[in-house]
Amino acid sequence: MIIKSIKERKQRRVKLSVYIKPYIFFAVLAPLFMVGEVMIDLMQPTLMSRIVDEGVVAGNMPIIWELGIRMIVLTLIGGACGIACGYFANYAALNFGSDLRNAVFSKVMSLSIEQTDKFTTGSLITRLTNDVTMCQDFVGMVLRMFVRSPLLFAGGLFMALTLDVSFALVLAVSLPVEILAVLIILKKAKPLFTQVQTKLDTVNAVMQENVNGARVVKAYVSEDHEIKRFDNANSDLRDTNLKVMTLISKLAPVMSLVLNFSIIAVILIGNLQVEAGLLEVGKIMAAVNYVTIIMMSLMMISMSFQSITRASASARRIREVLKCDPKIKNGEIKQSEGEGSVEFKNVSFHYPGTKGRPVLKDVDLKVEGGEYVAILGATGSGKTSLVNLITRFYDVNEGRVLVDGIDVRDYDLDILRGKAAYILQKSELFAGTVADNIRWGNENATDEEVRHAAEIACADEFISEFNDGYDTYIDEKGTSLSGGQKQRISIARAILRRPKIMIFDDSTSALDIKTEAKLREALRTELKDTTVIMIAQRVASVMTADRIAIIEKGTITDCAPHAELLERSATYRDIYDSQLKGGQVNVG
Amino acid sequence: MSAKKHTDDNEMLRAHEAQRKSGNMGGPPGRRGPGPMMYKEKPKNMWGTLKRLVQYIGKSKYLLLALLGVMILISLLGLAAPALQGKAIDAITDGKYKHVFTLLAILGGNYLLSSALTYFQGIYASRLAQKTVHTLRNDLFSKIAYLPIKFTDTHKHGDIMSRMTNDVENVSNTVSTSIASLFSAVITLIGTLAVMLSYSWKLTLVALVSVPLTIGGTALMSSIMRKYFIRQQRILGSLNSHVEEMVSGYKTVVAYGREGKSKEQFADINRQYKNTAIMAQFFGGTMGPMMNMIGNVGYLLVAVAGGYFALKGEITIGIIQAFILYTKQFTRPINEIGNQFSMIINAIAGAERVFEIMDTTPENAEECKDIDVESVKGNVSFRDVCFAYKKDEPVLKGFNLEVKAGEKIAIVGKTGSGKTTIVNLLTRFYDIDSGEILLDGENINNISKSSLRKSIGIVLQDTVLFSDTVEANVKYGRRDATDEQLQHALEFAEADVFVERLPEGKDTKLTESGSNLSVGQRQLLSIARAVLLDPKILILDEATSSVDTRTEMLIQTAMQKLMEGRTSLIIAHRLSTIRDADKIIVLADGTVAEMGNHDELLALKGEYYNLYMTQFSGLKT
């Protein structure tokens, strides 16, 4: 049992490293070329010192030329190796990033609404963009730097020691000091990095709210209040940033101090050795160079640790997304035929994470194929929650929802959602032309079909008045359109799907009464066989329905045609009166 | 040599960092969006922007001076170090072993001082950067807060956000790293040149051969790189905006089974991005080895020339040693300048996008000479008002309306007939093209916007709530309200019951998307907000469209009380909510088509009658 659960957990753990696997060839090639480059880098100081010692000091011009040309050729080879390493490293890293990005996006596209709600839109976007890029850059850097620095370090150490073992003394002192300093500073800096990220999020959040809610800020003359709010967040960010910076600022002087004093020590030791006749002058130069290499590579390693800290945070955020199993599992049944009946059987539901407070309780409702059923209910009574169960935005906690007699959980999701078109309360349009947006319903629809769908949705009348008609470009989120126009385009989009069931979630609220009546009429004549489930607030919108379901505090209390309800349902009469009070008398 | 090589690595890191930070630039170039939102390939006015940027940095004058002072000292110490090293080695070569100790002691002092100064340089540089960014962000935000609504209506929100974060961040990086290293590069360059000249003008000439090579190489590479980097950023922009759109519209994506198509599109953009980035990085990667090569050629030339001169006995070995060190030190700042160059261009482009917003005329520009209205009675008149959002597409054409203080006016009309526009104009979210709007006989253009808006309570079609507690949201217009007043407002809006049922009552934090409340509940809260403000003029723009009618009726009974003694403008589709209005206006074609009370308009058997009959058609029998 325990073993099994560990095994399961292991399977559930997502490793980002699998995304580098297809490019492992390049990922291995890059460090190999880096080895070439490092070797040549390590040879250079020796060559240079030989040029001085054997050439310049000895006054031997041919040797200068010979060694010089050898050095240039080596530099060329080293450069080529470096370029190749960079290319392969980037090739692997960018492909890794690209695959990872695709994987995360695909995962997000498979998540259930419940899960995207939990992550929040903003966070998902950051994870997909910022965090993936962070990991991608990190891989690229690992392939170049993590190989380079330790290699340089080891190579430098080796070369320095071959020059004269006594230089080891210097390193034995300076290395631990340097490593200790780096570790202490980075350990302190680590939590601060996370803090900076959080503070930046706050700054962005205030900004975003103000851009989106500018009208309310202005209407309530709260600009100064918002400016103060922003200043608080901004100052907070600055202060945290300064804290990190002050800490990190200590790193550079400490390191350069250790480095420079190591150089002094090398010269000092060299001095004694030369005095004792054990060493040549040129070798001191070389030793200085190698000590510099060793210390610099340490500096690079410490910098890499900084980026590990940052990248690991991003990797964690990505893994959180990747290891999410879609809560809504795809079913097997692909039966797209049927007359479009919907049945709620003893359905109870509460939103995930809000334990114990059911939104829907023991709901029973059967909608026959081709029927037109309206749902009326108070604010917060569970209307939207109810219809969300049909298209499986959420799953029931108890009971069953059947479409054409089959449990929605057994359906293939595409088939199910193809059968039932859902029109949201808040219409969502996408950047593209009007026609593009309507074609979301059916990509292969002809222009004629698109126009026809728009006509039924009463959208043609305003679309054809646009200068570019159906080719009019809609901005992000359709800000250039009025609420009623957006709703009608969304309705046209649903109609184009030719669904068996159409679900209107208060999606005609921004239409004026006349237009709405026209739309209802068109639906009735053009889509006779389509089951319509319509949530609405206006009695006029629901009066002509075959039946009207009354939902109160999560249960359906009555369901009958208008006349019947008017007679027996106090609630309905109440709603009716609230809207039509006195109307009858006048119209008479 | 190795030291230089590592500097390249550092630069690579930094360039990477900068690139990552600029990686989230706004949306794609709009297909027909407003021009200024397009991705900039080149700063338009590089020097002008640079000047302004320098002015911003110059605001912390003493900090800047301290930083520059410290940097000059560090550079000078840096110049002296190789000379001392060279002398020490010379001393060893000459066998003056005792002298070596003195030289090394001086060198140690030099290093100690330089390290201490480096610490201060780091502190000063980050303070300067943080201060500059802080001021820039605050200024930008304050600016945006006072920009007309038109600005946020016509600019992509993602782009505004991007300027605030990415572009400002870009500037910050440049201030903290580029300016410092550029400055020290120039000082080092000049200093090194001077020292080299003092050693030997002949060798200096030889060493200078590598300069044109370096400059040419840098210029060539950065121009190629820029092209790819710009393309990469642009593709990244459309990648990000695709993500933004699909994730925020996810419900629709799911409902229409567009996941597959959306993935395809994403993969396509992603592939383009990858391919461009590989090219960009490739060219970026050649920079280091190329510079290394040029540096080594320079080294060889100096060594050859040095050997030649040493043979002739013109120069001592120690001087050649030192000179060779300087040769390395000489190419480094040039590389540095080359590397910083592209970053600085990027930052200037970012600063330009920031300044572009700063240069937009704010709405409080002429505020000072405006009248503050204290006690508003609430007489409103629209006289021959004409207005168009876009030229040639007028929304209001000679609109006239007289509202007496305390009157309740309802506005009805087809979708898109301009009902919301009237609200936009009265609150001066937009300014009229011609005609005039008067409040208590005073042209609203002469009234300060803040006092005008303070006298108007407004509940909008799209509810806006902030990610704060319920209490803070309701108290938004009147932060000094008492708990009793708050409770009263909640009760008034019929919001008290559900607020009490929230996990933490009034202290419950509302989430980003407000997903813990239903749309109707959000509307109730924004009504409570307006109620608490206690304004003279009340505007309800479809305020209750998602509230069920019974709750609405309850609110309305209370509203009747609230509206007494107040001027109210009500926009609604539900005729039941407007029947009691003193005057009903039917808008059509940008003018008032019909006006009168409910009975009068019905008797007219015109537009209103038609609307009314449609709603109640089922009732006629």
**What is the DSSP track for A422-433?**
EE-SS----SEE
Q: Is the dihedral of CA B436, B439, B443, B444 positive or negative?
A: negative
| Phi, then psi, of B242 in degrees rounded to 5 | -65, -45
Distant-in-sequence, close-in-space partners of B418: CB < 8 Å, separation ≥ 6: B395, B396, B399, B587, B590
Strand order in the sheet with B442-443: B393-403, B380-390, B434-439, B442-443
- What is the pLDDT, as a whole number, of residue A403? 92
Q: Judging by beta carbons within 10 Å of its beta carbon (0-12, 13-18, 19+), is residue A149 exposed, middle or buried?
A: buried
pTM for this structure?
0.73
Average pLDDT, stretch B346-368? 71
- Higher-confidence position of A492 and B290: A492
User: How many DSSP H helices and E strands does chain B contain?
Assistant: 22, 10
d(CA B306, CA B446): 80
Residue count of chain A: 588
Nearest CA in chain A to B472: A225
Spell out a b/e string for B243-278, using b for 16 or more CB atoms within 10 Å of the CB, else e.
Answer: bbbbbbbbbbbbbbbbbeebbeebbebbebbbebbb
Interface touch A113/B573, C-beta < 8 Å: no
Residue with the larger pLDDT of the pair A264 and B155: A264
**What is the model's pLDDT at position B164?**
75
Maximum average pLDDT range among A105-119, B60-74, B603-617: B60-74
Q: Could A482 and B116 be called an inter-chain contact, meaning their C-beta atoms sit closer than 8 Å?
A: no
Categorise residue A326: left if φ over 0, alpha if ψ from -120 to 50, beta otherwise: beta
Do B590 and B396 touch, CB atoms closer than 8 A?
yes
- Is the pLDDT assigned to residue B614 strictly greater than 70? no
- Give kind and range of the element (H or E) at residue A232: helix A223-275
Q: CA-to-CA distance for A80 and A15, rounded, in angstroms? A: 33
pLDDT confidence bin for B575, thresholds 50/70/90: low
Chains A, B: CB pairs < 8 Å: 511
Q: Is A552 left (phi over 0), alpha (psi -120 to 50) or beta?
A: beta
Q: Which chain A positions have a beta carbon within 8 Å of B142's beta carbon? A: 227
Nearest-CA distance B590 → chain A (Å): 15
Highest mean pLDDT among A348-352, A473-477, B112-116, B198-202: B112-116
pLDDT tens-digit series, residues B507-530: 887 765 555 677 778 878 888 888
DSSP strand E in A40-148: where?
Answer: none
B256 pLDDT above the threshold of 80: no
Give the closest-approach CA distance of A293 to chain B in angstroms. Answer: 6
Residue B13, pLDDT above cutoff 60: no
CATH superfamily of A342-581: P-loop containing nucleotide triphosphate hydrolases (3.40.50.300)
Beta bridge partners of A333: A411
Say yes or no to pLDDT of B70 above 50. yes
Give CATH 3.40.50.300 domain extents, chain A. Answer: 342-581
User: Residues A66-95: pLDDT tens digits?
Assistant: 888 888 898 889 889 988 988 999 899 999
Predicted confidence at residue B441, as pLDDT, reads 85
User: Which has more confidence, B417 or A247?
Assistant: A247
Picking from B363, B280, B445, B330, the residue whose alpha carbon sits closest to that of residue B3 is: B330
* Chain B: closest CA distance from residue A6 (Å): 33
Range B72-75, long-range pairs (CB < 8 A, 24+ positions):
B72/B187, B73/B113, B73/B117, B74/B114, B74/B117, B74/B118, B74/B121, B74/B184, B75/B184, B75/B187, B75/B188, B75/B191
Min Cα separation B620/chain A (Å):
7
Backbone region of residue B305 per phi and psi (left: phi > 0; alpha: psi in -120 to 50; beta: other values): alpha
Of residues A482 and B425, more confidently modeled: B425
Note the Cα B380 to chain centre separation in Å. Answer: 37
- Chain A neighbors of B1, CB-CB under 8 A: 41, 44-45, 48, 289
Strands B434-439 and B442-443, bridge-based pairing: antiparallel
- At B365, is the pLDDT very low, low, confident or very high (cuts 50, 70, 90)? low
Q: How far apart are CA B223 and CA B283, in angstroms?
A: 10
Domains and CATH numbers, chain B: 2-358 (1.20.1560.10), 465-534 (3.40.50.300)
Option in B427, B513, B599 nearest A121 (CB)? B513
Chain A residue nearest residue B613, CA to CA:
A587
Q: Which residues of B touch A79 (CB under 8 A)?
A: 289-290, 292-293
Domain with CATH 1.20.1560.10 in chain A: 1-162
Kindly report the length of chain B.
621
Is residue A124 within 8 A of residue A104, CB to CB? The reply is: no
Give me the residue from B262, B278, B512 closest to A91, CB to CB.
B278
* B298 contacts B195 by C-beta, under 8 angstroms: no
Q: State the pLDDT at residue B25.
A: 32
Query: Helices in A111-166 by DSSP H: which ranges?
Result: 113-119, 121-126, 132-141, 147-163
Residues 6+ apart with CB under 8 A from A376: A535, A536, A537, A539, A542, A548, A549, A550, A551, A572, A575, B548
Pairing mode of beta strands A531-535, A501-505: parallel
Instruction: Specify the CATH number of the domain A1-162.
Output: 1.20.1560.10
* Least confident stretch, B386-400, B545-559, B568-582: B545-559
Rounded to whole angstroms, what are the CA distances from B505 to B471, B484, B487, B499, B592? Answer: 9, 15, 11, 5, 45
What pLDDT does residue A1 have? Answer: 41
**Nearest CA to CA, how far is B149 from chain A (Å)?**
7
Q: Is B78 a residue whose pLDDT tops 70?
A: yes
Tokens of B54: 């320098």
Give yes or no for a contact between A375 and A390, defined as CB atoms under 8 angstroms apart: no
Residues forming a β-bridge with A581: none
Pairwise CA distance, residues B129 & B59, whole Å: 12
Whether B274 sits inside 8 A of A95 (CB atoms) is yes
Gyration radius (Cα) of chain A, Å: 36
B380-390/B393-403 β-pairing: antiparallel
Comparing CB atoms, the residue among A257, A417, A430 nearest residue B255 is: A417
Q: Which residue is associated with the tokens 């250039």?
A: A480
Q: What angle do CA B436, B440, B444 make, to 5 degrees?
A: 40
The whole-angstrom separation of Cα A73 and Cα A203 is 53
Task: Tell me the C-alpha to C-alpha distance, in Å, between residue A271 and each of A158, B101, B102.
Answer: 21, 9, 12
Task: Indicate whether B617 pLDDT > 50.
Answer: no
Q: Give the integer Cα–Cα distance in Å for A254 and A477.
A: 53
Closest residue of chain B to A515, computed from CA coordinates? B414
Element (H, E) at A488: helix A483-496
More confident residue, B613 or B359: B359
| Mean pLDDT computed over B312-321 | 76
The rounded percent of chain B whose pLDDT value lies above 70 is 79
Output the pLDDT for position A450: 93
User: Given a cut of 50, is residue B280 above it in pLDDT?
Assistant: yes
pLDDT score of B7: 37
- β-strands A372-377, A531-535: how paired? parallel
pLDDT value for A355: 58
- CB contact under 8 Å between A440 and B258, yes or no, is yes
Q: Residue A376: which H helix or E strand, with range? A: strand A372-377
**By C-alpha distance, which of A514, A483, A488, A484 is closest to A434?**
A488
Segments in chain A below pLDDT 70: 1-13, 120-122, 212, 306, 353-356, 475-480, 579-588
CA nearest neighbour of A379 among A552, A578, A577? A552
- Are the CB atoms for B513 and A121 separated by under 8 Å? yes
Mean pLDDT computed over every residue of chain B:
76
